[in-house]
Amino acid sequence: MQMEGRKLGGRYEVISRIGGGGMAIVYKARDLKLNRYVAIKILSESLSNDSEFIRRFSREAQAAASLSHPNVVNVYDVGRDGYIHYIVMELVEGPTLKQYILDQGPLPVDEAARIAIQICDGLAHAHENQIIHRDIKPHNILLNRHGQAKVTDFGIARAASSSTITQQGSVMGSVHYFSPEQARGGQIGEKSDIYSLGIVLYEMLTGELPFDGDSAVSIAIKHLQEDPVDPRKLNPNIPDHMATIILRAMQKDPNMRYTSVRAMKQDLEYALQLGTSRPATGFGPRIENVFETIPLTGDDSTPSFTQRDDSPVQRPEIRTNNNDTRRKHSQNTVGEHTQRKLENQLKGISADQNKTIFQKTMVYIQEKLTWWQKLLFGLFTFAVIIFLAFYGFTKIWGWMGDKNNSSSDGSSQNLSGDMVTIPDVKGMEKDEAKAELEKLGLKVKSRMKKSDEVKPDSVLKTDPAIGEKVKKGSTVTIFVNIDGVKVGDYRGHFEQSATRPIPKKGNGYDIRIIYCASNGKAKTGQAYAQDPAPGEYIQKGGTVEVWVEPGNGICKKKPPSNSAYNLNRIPQLVASADPWLRGSADFISSSV
């Protein structure tokens, strides 16, 4: 919704947006009564419609308003304007600690210790007032121009004496910084804030997060069962006493951590007195002019778990690819019950901080547009969907219609256009007749036949006959009159015979023997087919092919089907052709 220029509660004039997250958007505003600038956090519409959340959140925000400390961002007011729920807070000009780390890299030990001491002061004040922050992270630590650290965003804090605002079955807080007890969904107390502060101190000194992963569940499991890499391995300038403080604050067992943040503060002050390998530089000048105005909700890249948004991941500027390979597994393991609980709690949460274009668009629509703009956008979107659906349906329908028409036309053509009539080619020369038939899409095969009806090398007849209809692609045989010699009959003869062997030459033509098995129909060495057939004519100097049974089953070339001879007549043929073989006729007949 468009908030700039609006006046909330008749008192707070909204000037500009300065930040925001999944739960709320933060604006810079002017308090007209006290004539001062403030920060106003406006809850998102999705949470504003949850009456139970609003009731609990308002109660705990009022509890946070009771805090007054230099290291805590003061809450001035909690109000409602129509459907808009808002919290008025102190405006801090300066970066978040997360932004500062990204800008400066790993901080000097003394600077990190001074910031951690101030955080301890702010948390100690909250703990003494029975308020647990539950979401300590660099994004919720603000640094003003003088280097003063202020803890903010107690919006999801839980007053120790009241019920939690956490909805049943969900875990709130940021996955990279929350404690093992938060991962288990167990009792959360002051020591949970100590664990998170230990991770913040770890990140300040190393520039890296102790635990990272591809999903919220995998990161939560690492909080439960893996020990962090010793910070001294990542930054050799970290003194032993400072590393000891970090590792003690990050103990898996709450009983092994500091008893309170004041105890942790005392160790930090003592470590600061011991000195470091680097000279103290102070951090006020380094913060000057980093950012003019910052969001009180911190960096948007780390949402809380009630948002069901993308889980935070460490920014690429300070991320290392081999971080996971350096992890050491402790003796603690995650039980099946805890594993299932984590999967249910963190289901749908990704560790990737980058949102898709669609997600960013939806966030913009939800946060920037007024109700009537949203209505217009919805109507426009609906109209576009209807138009695209109608257009697509019309296109598909037209395409299917064209296809059906094409099929119908094609069917008609198949019924009439695919059939051709064999033209009258009788008397045409062989090549002329062949060209005429091929022009109609027919295949042409020629055979020789002796006749006095037409001149030599002219077509005598066709098969199928002239005038018949055939399909395109069919084979038509043309019989060509030839001025040649008549072919003799060599079927039933033997390649080796005492009286009548198959000759090498005929009457004006050559004879070529082809060996091909007859599948037991002929005797070894016996001719059983020939081409051209007996009685047909062949040009002088042509070749007659004769097929002979080789006896070894091989076949170099099969005979044409129209040249096969009725082998049942071979005994009579052989007996009549060769008197020397008459005695073998009965044997051949019995073997055929």
Q: State the Cα torsion 219-220-224-226 to the nearest 10°.
A: 0
The angle subtended at Cα 550 by Cα 546 and Cα 555, nearest 5°, is 75
CA atoms within 13 A on the CB side of 165: 30
495 in helix, strand or coil? coil
Angstrom distance (rounded) from CA 395 to CA 350: 40
Is 41 marked as a binding-site residue? yes
Distance from C-alpha of 457 to C-alpha of 508, rounded to nearest angstrom: 18
Nearest to 294 by CA among 26, 580, 14: 26
Instruction: Find the catalytic residue in 121, 135, 310, 578.
Output: 135
Q: What angle do CA 115, 119, 121 make, to 5 degrees?
A: 115
CA distances 219 to 45, 189, 223, Å, are 30, 21, 6
Three-state DSSP state, 332: coil
Instruction: Give the integer Cα–Cα distance in Å for 98 and 135.
Output: 14
Judge whether 324 counts as a catalytic residue.
no
Identity of the amino acid at 407 = S
Q: Which residues of 300-321 are buried (b: 16+ CB within 10 A; e: fewer)?
A: bbbbbbbbebbbbbbeeeeebe
510-515 and 469-471 as β-strands: parallel, antiparallel, unpaired?
A: unpaired
Q: Could you tell me which of 9, 28, 10 has the C-alpha nearest to residue 295? A: 28
**DSSP conformation letters of 532-580:** SPTT-EE-TT-EEEEEE--SSS-BSSPPPGGGB--GGGHHHHHHHH-GG
- What is 462-490 written as a DSSP string? EESPTT-EEETT-EEEEEEE-SSEEPP--
Peptide bond preceding 532 in cis form (omega within 30 of 0) = yes
Cα(2)–Cα(116) distance, rounded to whole angstroms?
38
Residue 584 DSSP class: G
Where is the binding site for ATP, in residues?
A: 41
Question: What residues act catalytically?
Answer: 135
Where is the binding site, in residues?
A: 41
